[in-house]
Each structure stands twice: as structure tokens, then as C-alpha cells.
Structure 1
Amino acid sequence: MTMTENQTPLGGDLPIANRFLFELDGVEIGVFREVHGLEVTVAVEELREGGQNGFSHRLPGRMTWPPLVFRRGVTQSNELFEWLARTSGEGFAGNENKLDRCTGAVTAIDHVGTRLRSWEFIDVFPVRWKGPDFTVGSTDPLEEELEVTHHGFRARTQSG
């Protein structure tokens, strides 16, 4: 039996990367067209031991996570703007200078909407929103972009 490019060695299809949703504290914010920045980097500290010239000890250092960048078509919903207002500007000042951090999640879903796997982000807050570009004669769809920062993530399967 020949495996296709989208199958696992044990059978079944691999999930595809075009169906996912974004949630904040368990509330669905929406489905986005793109998400970038789901990664972690571990810095490596080198320790040179006296008398050991053959190698340097390499130890794990700080972990860093880039911001997540979401892109989607403009929607009728105001959840993103309400969240942005609570965490910045007058919303931040009116909140006694306490940053409203949330738990965010990106969840991969299959073609029938079953949740497959999630990445849960700790202490999420928005740092940038960009609206659509307008050009006379353009036929491009209206899109918005959201950038959020966080203190790391943990991966979760939906069965556990």
C-alpha cells in the first residue's frame, strides 16, 4: 500500500493547516486566515571548564517566544477592538493601570469542525492592530492584522 503525501505512517490523513480558530479566556474571537509566530527558541549558554579543552559545556538558557501575528478578513464583530481598548489607552488607565492579560488559544480543527490540537498562550495581550489598506480600483478583500505578545505556550491535544 502506497502512502500519499497527506497520510501518516499508521494510516489516516494528516491535519491540514488551513482550519483553526483563536480564543481568549475560552471565548471564540474568530477564525483567521493566517497565524504566524507559533515557535519557541531556547538560548544556549556555554560554560568553559578549566582544563577541558575538547569541548564547552552547553546548557539551556532563557526561552523566548516571538509575537503571534493573525490575519483575517474584516468582520462585523467588535471583540478585538473591545479587548484592545481594555488593555491600552484609556481602558488601561481606567483599569487602575492593571494590564488585562488573558489566556489565548489557537486550535486546529478538521473539515467537520472537530478540535484536534490547541496551543494555549499564557498572559496574552495585544500590541498592534492594523486595518485594511484602501486603494482606488482595488479588488482585494479588506483584511485586518492583529499582533499579540505572550509569556509562552503549552500544547494540548483535545482528548486530554
Structure 2
Amino acid sequence: MATGLPNVSNNDALAARNFAIEVDGTTIAQFTEVGGLTSEMDVTELKENGPDGKLIIKKIPGAHKTPTLTLKRAKNVSMELYKWHKAALDGKVKEARKNGSVILYDYESGEVARWNFVNAWPSKLTTGSLKAGSNDVVTEEATIVMEGFERVK
């Protein structure tokens, strides 16, 4: 059965390695990992007595919880991510809030999934450990908070 997506059937596994991050329509720096692609809601319990007097507990969907994305990458000299974070630090909230997407691609670079986020900004930037004599690559991790999140493809 076809999915309506090019070169993908419902039985094809998707590779986690082919993805991109767009912010305000522009693909930003390459990331090695994206975490937090979740959809979750609160659960409200409604307790009632049934016709026979026994307790019945119903589960009702509550408010949607917006996730927090974690982006990891090799640190480079670009200041774009820091400038985005600094706008929030400086109280420039309107400037800091941006819309974007996490896009997943198939083996032939065709888009197969997209998650859109709304009014997002980096609440935290972490540079990995620095160690004399190390051959390791310096890493950077960004925590992105948002006001809306939805899978659209």
C-alpha cells in the first residue's frame, strides 16, 4: 500500500540520519541529533458513580503539552544560534520567537515527515567539555522551547 510519498511504502523503515532543521524558512546549521519529537497531553480523570453505585473512572484528554527540542551538533564558529539565544536573553522576545520545522528525508532526499514548531527560541545553549590533549570535536547542544508543535506530514 502506498503512502502518497515518493519512493516510500508503508513498510519502509525511515532512516534517522537524514534530517534538517529550518527556522523561518531557512535551513540552519547541520545538527548531529534532534531529540524531543513528542506529542503528549495531560489526562484528566473523571470519577463518577455508575447506575449500580460502583465507581467509574473515565480518562479525558486534557491540555496538549508542547515539547522541548534538543539539538546537538559539532561546534563551529557561526554565531547565528547564539544570536538567536541572545535575543531572548536581552528581552527581545518578539525578535527571539521564530517558527520552523524538523524535516525527515528518505534515502533519495525526498521529504517524508515534517514537524512544525511555532514561536520557538533557544532557552539554553551548552558547549561540550574542553580538555587539553583531546582529539575530540567540541559539541554544542541547544534546548528549544516553543508554544506550538505539530506533525504535518
TM-score range, shorter chain: 0.7 to 0.9
Q: Which of residues 125, 128, 138 is equivalent to 2:124? A: 128
1:20 and 1:108 in contact (8 A); partners too: yes
Matched, 1:25 2:21: no
Matched, 1:139 2:140: no
> TM-score, normalised on structure 1?
0.78
> TM-score, normalised on structure 2?
0.82
Matched with 2:48 is 49
**What are the equivalent positions in structure 2 for 1:25-104 lying under 5 Å apart?**
25-51=24-50, 52-89=53-90, 92=91, 95=92, 98=94, 100-104=96-100
2:72 and 2:140 in contact (8 A); partners too: yes
Gaps of 5+ in 1: 1-7
Matched with 1:110 is 106
How big is each residue's C-alpha offset from its partner over 1:18-72, in whole Å with a ceiling of 9 and x where there is no partner?
A: 1111111111112211111111222111111234525212111122133111000
User: What CA distance in whole angstroms lies between the structure 2 residues aligned with 1:146 and 1:62?
Assistant: 26
3-state SS, counterpart of residue 14 of structure 2: coil
3-state SS, counterpart of residue 13 of structure 2: coil
How big is each residue's C-alpha offset from its partner over 1:55-98, in whole Å with a ceiling of 9 and x where there is no partner?
A: 21211112213311100011232221221122222xx2xx4x64
Shift of 1:126: 0.9
From the superposition, tell whether residues 123 and 110 of structure 1 become closer, same or farther in structure 2 (CA, over 3 Å).
same
Percent of paired sites with the same residue: 28
User: What CA distance in whole angstroms lies between the structure 2 residues aligned with 1:110 and 1:141?
Assistant: 28
How big is each residue's C-alpha offset from its partner over 1:3-25, in whole Å with a ceiling of 9 and x where there is no partner?
A: xxxxx8756x4220011111111
- 63-72 vs 42-51, greater mean Cα deviation: 42-51
User: What CA distance in whole angstroms lies between the structure 1 residues aligned with 2:48 and 2:71?
Assistant: 45
Q: Residue type of the partner of 1:138?
A: S
Please tell me the root mean square deviation across aligned C-alpha atoms, in Å: 2.2
3-state SS, counterpart of residue 133 of structure 1: coil
Matched with 2:5 is none
Shift of 1:105: 0.9
User: What CA distance in whole angstroms lies between the structure 2 residues aligned with 1:10 and 1:125?
Assistant: 34
3-state SS, counterpart of residue 83 of structure 1: helix
How many residue pairs align between the two structures?
144
1:23 and 1:30 in contact (8 A); partners too: no
User: What CA distance in whole angstroms lies between the structure 2 residues aligned with 1:156 and 1:41?
Assistant: 16
> Quick check: which one's strand share is greater?
2
